[in-house]
Amino acid sequence: MMKLADRIESLHESQTIAMARISRELREQGHDIISLSLGEPDFVTPAYIREAAKKAIDDGYTHYPPISGYMDLRQAICDKLKRENNLTYTPDQIVVSTGAKQCIANAVLCTINPGDEVIVPSPYWVSYSQIIQLAGGVPVFIPTDIASDFKITEKQLSNAITSKTRMFIFSSPCNPTGTVYTRDELKVLASVFEKHENIFILSDEIYEHINFIGKHESIAQFDSIRSRVIIVNGVSKSYAMTGWRIGYLAAEKFLAQACDKMQGQFTSAASSIAQRATIAAISRDDAENKIMFKAFERRRDLVLKLLKEIPGLKVNQPQGAFYVFPDVSAFFGKQYNGTVIHTPEDLCMFLLRDARVSLVTGEAFGDNQCIRISYAAADEDLVKAIGRISESLAKLN
Ligand code: PMP
Ligand code: GLU
């Protein structure tokens, strides 16, 4: 048997995507599965964006675009950053990539040497740890829990920093917890980084527009650390454009140039047609986007109300994104029909079989108490799914 490279042997499959695959397969076999595993808006991309893509094809945008993205798209991103975030960037500081995921991979591969430490508040989004390890870096997790609203403290951050720390990666609004850091909390974190001039701060802001507590706050607003902040954002979540595969990064010019060089060897550039559609997406405040946002807020409230009625679940109060991350540890040690639940993963598999609802175990995000429920699904599916979850959990004793 031919052997693969060590780096792929040690890489884990993305568990969010794996759960989505399993539920699709079970559905194809005729099982009635409700999938709340994948973080993907159930909406179709708004019409004005789809029209822009059709026009791009007819206008002949069929050749290789510049590696970092079309100049007018990068200008539109700078305009967006000024308009919505009051941050000044120039197009040579922007790199457009094949999804925010590739932006993160570019940034990490361009900055992390083998042995470098990258601090990641935990629970964290699945791919951070794997991308860090692909670069030879060492993820250093700062644990948080439901009692602290999944937020790290100044002291925890200071204690995690060593002479080897090279980067800090976090998302706010956070996947998987929905936690949103306030401006004051970000300021406290920024004050720690002020004292450590060799640390990059990768701020994953992909859920920027799905924020139920008001204005989005970026850690890039603090001038003292701004030159070391790498903003990652994209259109997958805010504009229901997951399949278009467009993300972007904003950073100091030398880092943007490095990402351009890296991407030039990997993908050449993101799709020309999707880039043209993205200009339309981010340049207009469309009514359809507001409808999607309102739906997420309504579903969050609906899901929280229903989950809080289930005995044994400890439910957090997400302030953004479209996930709830309840603590399920009260069910550990319980059993049904000979199946004993020891871990969140055991519980997810039990709920997949018994309730026919697919969720993602907290372990995928570095947590061993919780499970992730994505509420980016139709209201009636959410009601049905939580009803079934409730019935199945009641069987455990
Ligand atoms: N960051 C976070 C926190 C995410 O949840 C996702 C999920 N897709 C991504 C980045 C990657 O987004 P994209 O679809 O743009 O690659
Ligand atoms: N980010 C989404 C999630 O966490 C999509 C899956 C992925 O990109 O890993 O479910």
In this predicted structure, the answer to whether residue 149 has a pLDDT above a threshold of 80 is: yes
* Measured distance CA(33)–CA(356) in Å, rounded: 5
Adjacent-strand bridge partners of 372: 360
pLDDT at position 18: 83
| Residue 201 C-alpha from the chain's centroid | 16
pLDDT of residue 290: 80
pLDDT tens sequence across 152-202: 999 999 999 999 999 999 999 999 999 999 999 999 999 999 999 999 999
Q: Locate the ligand 2 atom nearest the alpha carbon of residue 126 and give its number.
A: 9
- Domains by residue range for the chain, with CATH: 6-44+287-395 (3.90.1150.10), 47-282 (3.40.640.10)
The whole-chain average pLDDT of the chain stands at: 96
Tell which atom from ligand 2 comes closest to the C-alpha of 206.
1
- Which helix or strand (DSSP H or E) is residue 31 part of? none
Distance, in Å, from the CA atom of 132 to the CA atom of 155, rounded to the nearest integer, reads 24
Pair of tokens at residue 56: 């791009």
Cα(206) to centroid(ligand 1), Å: 6
Residue closest to 278 by CA, chosen among 312, 247, 315, 307: 247
What's the rounded Cα separation, in Å, for the pair 58 and 46?
A: 19
Q: Which amino acid is present at 363?
A: E
Percent of the chain residues topping a pLDDT of 70: 100
Distance (Å, whole) CA 311 – CA 225: 45
Report the separation in Å between the CA atom of 127 and the middle of ligand 2, taken as the mean of its atom positions.
Answer: 8
Query: Ligand 1 atom 7: the closest Cα is on which residue?
Result: 39
User: What's the 100 CA to ligand 1 centre distance in angstroms?
Assistant: 5
Kindly state the average pLDDT of the residues 312-317: 96
- Cβ neighbour number for residue 216 with a 10 Å cutoff: 18
Encoded tokens for 136:
């030879």
Considering every ligand atom shown, identify the ligand nearest to the alpha carbon of residue 120 and give its number. Answer: 1
Tens of pLDDT, residues 245-281? 999 999 999 999 999 999 999 999 999 999 999 999 9
**CB-based burial label for 319 (10 Å; 0-12, 13-18, 19+):** buried
User: Residue 100 CA: which ligand is closest?
Assistant: 1
Q: Does 352 score more than 80 pLDDT?
A: yes
Q: Is 259 exposed, middle or buried (0-12, 13-18, 19+ CB in 10 A)?
A: buried
| Whether 232 contacts 204, CB under 8 Å | yes
Q: Which atom of ligand 1 is nearest to the CA of 100?
A: 15
The alpha carbon of 61 and the centre of ligand 1 are apart by a number of angstroms equal to 26
The strand ranges marked E within the chain are 34-35, 94-97, 117-122, 138-143, 165-171, 200-204, 229-234, 247-250, 323-324, 335-336, 339-340, 357-358, 360-361, 371-374
On whether the CB atoms of residues 143 and 31 are closer than 8 A, the answer is no
* pTM of the shown model: 0.96
- Which residues does residue 121 pair with via DSSP β-bridges, in sequence order? 142
Other beta carbons less than 10 A from residue 9's beta carbon: 8
- Cα 20 to middle of ligand 2, angstroms: 10
Please work out whether the CB of residue 166 comes within 6 Å of at least one atom of ligand 1. no
Q: Which amino acid is at 77?
A: I
Q: What is the DSSP letter of 145?
A: -
Instruction: Say which DSSP state 376 is in.
Output: -
The pLDDT tens digits of the residues spanning 206-242 come to: 999 999 998 899 999 999 999 999 999 999 999 999 9
**pLDDT reported for residue 296:** 95
Ligand 2, pocket residues at CB < 6 Å: 14, 16-17, 38-40, 101, 126-127, 175
